[in-house]
Structure 1
Amino acid sequence: MTEQQPGQHMAAEIAQQPAIFSGLIERRAEIAKVAEVVQQRKPRFVLFAARGSSDHAALYAKYLTEVLLQLPAGLVSPSTTTLYGGKPDLRDVLLVSVSQSGGSPDLLEVTQAARTQGALTVAVTNTSDSPLNAAAELSVDVGAGVEHAVAATKTYSATLLALYLLFDSIRGGNGEHAANLGDLAQSTLDTSTDAVTEAVRRYRFVDRVLTTGRGFSLPTALEAALKLAETSYLGARAYSGADLLHGPVAAVDGETAVLAVTSTGKGGDALHEVLDVVHGRGADVLAVGSAADKVSAALRIPVPETAEEVAPILEILPIQNLAHGLALARGGDPDSPRGLKKVTRTR
């Protein structure tokens, strides 16, 4: 029997993403049927319920909602339902519950309560027969397949794409900006290998990392910090580029590594000044994204240019490989980080 090598599951699941994207895009018509129901119900507000990596995907969908649909959106605090018994009036509200497993008790309770209170509920999960799917009125299957590594990779990116296809369909789009993401994902993985290897060498012994982004790229910065913390046990913190200048920049110095997610578009443009400031304070900046070559940085990992609204689906790919490489270089196993389980049950 072949001995399992550290990180082999995470590496394999990162590599599966281009094919998963292509398969999900082929199922766009299924997601469009869910979107049709949402269109008919004409929600005036959208709420998202999620935890962990799925919470970052939900934040991405919040941007999609406010920018593409021009509807107000928010992230729920599950404890207002599960601990405090809150029952707000949710008529004319769309609640989207995002969960890889669909098994978290708090998200299940929130979804059940929201449906009782009049919300149209949609579950976006990677487990089509989950309790969360059964509780929601509608569901979207992420279709990423079983994920063995504790750190979410393919389920995270596939959830982003599923959410994009859903909200693009709600606005009446045809998915054109996502059409070639399978090929672009493969190109991203192939062309970033050398830069990721150099970044692993450069940051192997770093203790403190700040991640930052603006707009659609902010969820990528948040997910990057989580991946680095859970796989390499780094002290990683994520900040919006705007918030970084409001105080945390005081802690930035020559001992600080800054991972900046910057893609072509308004969010990337807004990050230029921020990176000029942190670079000027001596921070070692790693820029990731399609606009990486346009900002002040010591090292860059370019990503193919896309419409800004789908950039996060590609941005995260080399960051996942960076987290994987750093974990191995630091003597860890990213498949099984200490103290973590694949499904975390909270209430």
Structure 2
Amino acid sequence: MPAGKHMTDEIDQQPAIFADLLAAQHEIAEVAGVIARRKPRFALLAARGSSDHAALYAKYLIEVLLELPVGLVSPSTTTLYGARPDLTDVLLISVSQSGGSPDLLRVTESGRERGALTAAITNNTSSPLAEAAELSLGIRAGQEQAVAATKTYSATLLTLYLLVDAIRGGDGTRARALPELATAALSERGAVDEAVQRYRFADRMVTTGRGYSLATAQEAALKLAETSYLSARAYSGADLLHGPVAAVDEETAVLALNSNGRGGESIREVLDVVHARGADICAIGSGAAHSAAAHRIPLPDCAEEVSPVLEVLPVQQLALGLALARGFDPDSPRGLNKVTKTT
């Protein structure tokens, strides 16, 4: 089998998965209705790896669209230190593509015992995690063969968006065009192929974004590290200017997520500073044309709150292309597996 065959196929499956999720919105609405009726006063998100980046996206969604305070759980406070805070009237969402992470299972079980309304978002609806939570939703991505998460990550993003939107009484209107937009984004390979040739010999890369796009910046760094063994580090645009920018120079490649909206407008100011330091900037997103960048990968315009679902697609293609160009097989990254079992 050719190197990267599984990852290639799974990247290409994403538009159809988005359409399937949108068609199953009634199931998501039922879960959202339970949450809305319970009126949580606070939300907590528990996740590991790529799912943790999806949880960061959900954090922005819940804080902006529902105006609820949100925290990201540190599983070790439960698994190592045995902390048992009162979680009455708290919504605890556990995000795990496999549903097989022991520490997330313990966090979910413990949270439910302490009064939380627990919900599991997973690709395995018969997993221990899904069974442990009071509510569960499947991301409907099908089995993923490649070790690097692609379709399960984007499907998790869309599931989380549809859930939060339904909690606020929405019907997913702003996400309805995603299958068509994703097809268009994946078919425009020219700019991605050029980026592969441009960065195939890079030793280190910084990824950055603001607002909703910060989740994509985090995921981009992980994908580049695990498939191409690049030294990749993600920063929010604001954090990048407070110290790390001192390490940015002509030898630094910067991958910047820049979609239209408030986050994109803010990141452009950051890129002006980074550009002045001589960094080689690759801007990805619907607002890339307005960035100070040496290379741009444009995307179709969409509502800012769903832009991470599209932004990650060329990121995945870039990670795949760089891995192959550097002589690696992204389907089998050395030393990695699909289930995080840290306890």
Normalising by structure 1, what TM-score?
0.99
The answer to whether residue 111 in structure 2 is matched with residue 78 in structure 1 is: no
Output the CA distance in 2 between the equivalents of 1:326 and 1:120.
Answer: 42
The answer to whether residue 174 in structure 2 is matched with residue 162 in structure 1 is: no
The answer to whether residue 292 in structure 2 is matched with residue 287 in structure 1 is: no
Output the CA distance in 2 between the equivalents of 1:174 and 1:273.
Answer: 34
Whichever residue aligns with residue 129 of structure 2, its letter is L
Q: Which residue of 2 aligns with 1:270?
A: 266
SS in 2 for 1:63: helix
1:124 to 121, 132, 135: 121
Output the CA distance in 2 between the equivalents of 1:277 and 1:208.
Answer: 19
Matches within 5 A, 1:1-347: 4-191=1-188, 193-347=189-343
Deviations 1:273-323 (A, max 9, x none): 110011110000000000000010000000111100000000000110000
Output the CA distance in 1 between the equivalents of 2:268 and 2:338.
Answer: 37
Output the CA distance in 1 between the equivalents of 2:300 and 2:70.
Answer: 29
Identity %: 69
Q: CA deviation at 1:272?
A: 1.1
How many corresponding residue pairs?
A: 343
Whichever residue aligns with residue 291 of structure 1, its letter is G
The root-mean-square deviation of aligned C-alpha atoms, in Å, is: 0.4
Output the CA distance in 2 between the equivalents of 1:101 and 1:79.
Answer: 19
> Which of structure 1's runs of 4+ aligned residues deviate more than 6 A?
none
Does the 8 Å contact 2:48/2:340 carry over to 1? no
Output the CA distance in 2 between the equivalents of 1:66 and 1:343.
Answer: 29
Output the CA distance in 2 between the equivalents of 1:341 and 1:267.
Answer: 33
Normalising by structure 2, what TM-score?
1.00
Output the CA distance in 1 between the equivalents of 2:5 and 2:224.
Answer: 17
Deviations 1:169-204 (A, max 9, x none): 00000100011111110011012x000000000000
Deviates more, 1:271-280 or 1:250-259: 271-280
Output the CA distance in 2 between the equivalents of 1:243 and 1:135.
Answer: 37
Q: CA deviation at 1:344?
A: 2.3
